[in-house]
């Protein structure tokens, strides 16, 4: 089956974009039967949005705050800022405390 470059209209911005032979082959190799609905820019933008909000970014290390465990007194780190008067537990004690509830 021979592919030809196709011109499609983006459903987001209405711009025409080329569904190239390579892309068509790629789509077919993936088993996709639908043509792309969006131009590459809008696809990129959508992806960026999906990762930007709500999506958990595994590359960014979570900020950790130093704390002292209220149970065993061991120094630990917690992923939230410890507040005055609120007990903070190390990982071991936290799981104990949680289980005992
Ligand atoms: Zn577009
Ligand atoms: Zn502890």
Q: How far is the CA of 56 from the centre of ligand 2 (A)?
A: 28
Q: Which residue has the tokens 């949005």?
A: 49
pTM of the predicted model, to two decimals? 0.46
- Split at pLDDT 50, 70, 90, the class of 101 is low
Ligand nearest to the CA of 72: 2
Contacts of 92 (CB under 8 A, 6+ apart): 72
Q: How far is the CA of 40 from the centre of ligand 1 (A)?
A: 7
pLDDT tens-digit series, residues 68-96: 999 999 999 888 888 888 889 998 998 88
Percent of the chain with pLDDT over 90: 51
| CA–CA gap between residue 6 and residue 8 (Å, rounded) | 6
């Amino acid at each position: 089956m021979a592919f030809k470059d196709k011109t499609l209209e983006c459903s987001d911005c209405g711009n025409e974009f080329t569904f190239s032979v390579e892309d068509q082959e790629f789509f077919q190799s993936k088993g996709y039967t639908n043509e792309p609905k969006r131009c590459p820019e809008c696809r990129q933008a959508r992806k960026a949005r999906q990762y930007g909000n709500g999506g958990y970014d595994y590359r960014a290390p979570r900020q950790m705050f130093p704390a002292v465990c209220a149970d065993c007194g061991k120094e630990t780190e917690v992923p939230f800022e410890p507040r005055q008067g609120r007990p903070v537990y190390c990982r071991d004690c936290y799981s104990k405390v949680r289980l005992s509830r």
